[in-house]
Structure 1
Amino acid sequence: MCTSITLENDHSNYLARTMDFGFELDGKPVVVPRQYTFTPQLGETLTFPYGFVGTGRKLGAYLFADGVNEKGLAIAELYFPTEASYLEAPLPETTALAPHEFIMWVLGNISSIEELKNRIHEVSILNTENQLLGVVLPLHFIVADSSGQTVVVETHDKTLTIKENPVHVMTNSPRFEWHLQNLNNYLSLQPQNFPAKTFGKLSAVPFGQGSGTYGLPGGYTSPERFVRAVYLRNYIISTETADEALTGIFHILDNVTIPKGVNLKNDGSTDYTQYRAAFDTKNQRYYFNPYHTPEVFSLQLTEALLNSPAPIEYDVPTGFTTTSLGE
């Protein structure tokens, strides 16, 4: 599972996400330089003109769950169970990719959402297992760029389809259109308290502050997280500076972050938020917050990193950190 949002202000357009999963992914910040050569499981070696930074892991080649490239295009993959469908053989004159390799192709080749719309026909996503997990990953994707656009990429009848995202939120199954229609059930949600109401001779008043959010779903299912994230993003106070935007983003993510142990899978493993990440599309800066610490680590894409001879991995400190006062 996972939750993602985008948030725009005068400073940038940010894409942010939680990575919720049961299997320990051990993702870490990784920079891939320009002209990196990548060999998909099913095809010929590709050379990427653009460098990028994101959360990755090396399994022979590097694989990423999210990232932002030097052109300001950001993308994240989220689980799409029971809905994703893939081809058994590539279409003519296309690059054959496993589902988990699509992010690498996008970050290494695509500069904007408009370019993605024009070039998405160049790839075929095939029914191919992820080597780490031993399963075909059911995935869909949220994409943002510095223009403020946000789209969702899902497979329909084994075909990649780009969908405009008017609410700037994505979670998991069902299909994106279902989530948008489901918002019709929550028209009463508002930040203001409800006024008193008369029932016969009885005047009923709210018990206290927050009555306007009565009915806001609080569980961890995909539909509940979608509604909660849409509400929070829609009403959060204006975030004019970069610091205010990031503060708002991580407070929204706090509301869909899953602690260890409260959400168990059928096999007994715990599905929890292994990390949160945010991507500044105008300034190509990456923010990373792993589960074990409240600290947020940042990494700026620079010319030196983009021209490095090989990918660079970054380890982050472990353990809960505090700032001591008055000592």
Structure 2
Amino acid sequence: MCTAITYSTKDHYFGRNLDLNVSYHEQVTITPRNYPFTYRRVGDVPHHYAMIGMATVVDDYPLYYEATNETGLSMAGLNFPGNADFKPEASGLDNVTPFEFIPWILGQCATVGEAKQRLETINLVNIDFSNELRLHPLHWMIADQQQSIVVEPLKNGLRVYDNPVGVLTNNPSFDYQLFNLNDYRHVSTKLPDNTFAKALDLEAYCLGLGGHGLPGDLSSTSRFVRATFARFNSVAGTTESESVSQFFKLLDTVMQTRGLNEAADGTFEYTIYSSCCNMDRGIYYYQTYENSQITAVSLFNEDLDGTRLIAYPLVTGQQIHYAN
């Protein structure tokens, strides 16, 4: 499972935790403007916005987990098992496969408003990348510097939700996740008043008591609540270092430790990597499970008019500074 968030200080940021039980050899991947995107059922797009993000590259094709384009529009796919429903081809619509969805939107759209227009004619079609790489059940968050939406392919059709909280996790559907926040309206960063019994002298014996009831488990509903609470109450400075550090601290509130979330096959889900992209400057930052040092790759430091993918393997080993 995964968590994606947006965050703003002086600049705007988008990123996520990727929580899985196995790595697929992901790399930070830059797609320049003239890389020829060939789509399965819609016309090729030889020229498009450049983008940067995390992808598994197969046969020179970037299978993006999340990415940000040169205008700042950002998009992430998150697991949505049991709910995601991809359709047969339909005439008169843009039949885009789910693994093409991120480059299809980010290659052609500069804003969430433009993405919404594209979504009016899209059909997420049930075509696998290959016999070895089957489709994953996904839903997506799309964000620019001003707003965010969630796109969910359901049995009764494609649903597009405005996302006022700038957070996405997994099941159940996004409308339920938003409504579920009502159960936590009492949670606060402040010490609570004694509303239990005025006749009793109940002591506020430590800080943090206002957070009683905030869920601490690893389920997607609990992570949604916890990430939303942290995002809306976070206090950060406005420098790039302060902002990026705070973004990763927000993701830390919902990260998964190996051994605490067992999958059906006996393996364990864990946070393989955490990412943070400055949407205004095109700088992609990441940490991995075993490397807490922040590594950065800049979109605009590359030749964005090229035709070939640019990929940076992840720095996965722990980088330790010895003081003596």
Give the TM-score category using the shorter length: over 0.9
Pairwise CA distance, 1:223: 0.4
Q: Deviations over 1:279-316 (max 9, x none)?
A: 11111111121222001111111274312331111123
Structure 1 runs of 4+ aligned residues shifted over 4 Å read: 41-44
Q: Deviations over 1:211-258 (max 9, x none)?
A: 100111001100000000011111111442222221211111011111
| Contact 1:43-1:97 at 8 Å conserved across structures | yes
Q: 1:262 to 1:44 in 2, by over 3 A?
A: same
| Contact 1:294-1:321 at 8 Å conserved across structures | yes
Q: How does 1:110-129 map to 2 (within 5 A)?
A: 110-129=109-128
| Contact 1:6-1:15 at 8 Å conserved across structures | yes
Q: Which moved more, 1:234-243 or 1:171-180?
A: 234-243
For these two proteins, the number of residue pairs brought into alignment is 323
Match of 2:190, as an amino acid? Q
Match of 2:184, as an amino acid? Y
| Contact 2:19-2:256 at 8 Å conserved across structures | yes
| Contact 1:86-1:158 at 8 Å conserved across structures | no
Q: Deviations over 1:183-227 (max 9, x none)?
A: 110011001112345648532223422110011100110000000
Taking the aligned partners of 1:184 and 1:132, their CA distance within structure 2 comes to 43
Q: 1:205 to 1:161 in 2, by over 3 A?
A: same
Taking the aligned partners of 1:103 and 1:290, their CA distance within structure 2 comes to 22
Taking the aligned partners of 1:78 and 1:139, their CA distance within structure 2 comes to 5
Task: Find the residue that maps to 2:274 and give its secondary structure.
Answer: strand
Task: Find the residue that maps to 2:243 and give its secondary structure.
Answer: helix
Match of 1:85, as an amino acid? D
Q: How does 1:157-236 map to 2 (within 5 A)?
A: 157=155, 159-196=157-194, 199=197, 202-236=200-234
Match of 1:87, as an amino acid? K
Give 2:259's aligned residue.
261
Q: Deviations over 1:142-194 (max 9, x none)?
A: 11113x21111112445333221111111111111101110110011001112
Task: Find the residue that maps to 1:124 and give its secondary structure.
Answer: strand
Q: How does 1:52-67 map to 2 (within 5 A)?
A: 52-60=51-59, 61-67=61-67
Q: Which moved more, 1:21-30 or 1:225-234?
A: 21-30
Task: Find the residue that maps to 1:102 and give its secondary structure.
Answer: helix
Task: Find the residue that maps to 2:19 and give its secondary structure.
Answer: strand
Give 2:74's aligned residue.
74
Task: Find the residue that maps to 2:36 and give its secondary structure.
Answer: strand
Give 1:138's aligned residue.
137
Q: 1:198 to 1:41 in 2, by over 3 A?
A: closer
Taking the aligned partners of 2:209 and 2:131, their CA distance within structure 1 comes to 46
Match of 2:63, as an amino acid? L
Task: Find the residue that maps to 2:218 and give its secondary structure.
Answer: coil
Match of 1:184, as an amino acid? N
Q: 1:198 to 1:37 in 2, by over 3 A?
A: closer
User: Percent identical across equivalent pairs?
Assistant: 29
Q: Which moved more, 1:171-180 or 1:121-130?
A: 121-130
Taking the aligned partners of 1:198 and 1:299, their CA distance within structure 2 comes to 52
Q: Deviations over 1:40-78 (max 9, x none)?
A: 344554324111111011112221111111111111111
Normalising by structure 1, report the TM-score: 0.92
Match of 1:140, as an amino acid? H
Q: Structure 2: 5+ residue runs without aligned partners?
A: none
Give 2:89's aligned residue.
89
Taking the aligned partners of 1:83 and 1:250, their CA distance within structure 2 comes to 29
| Contact 1:38-1:45 at 8 Å conserved across structures | yes
Taking the aligned partners of 2:109 and 2:67, their CA distance within structure 1 comes to 12
Q: How does 1:16-27 map to 2 (within 5 A)?
A: 16-27=15-26
Give 2:314's aligned residue.
316
Task: Find the residue that maps to 1:47 and give its secondary structure.
Answer: coil
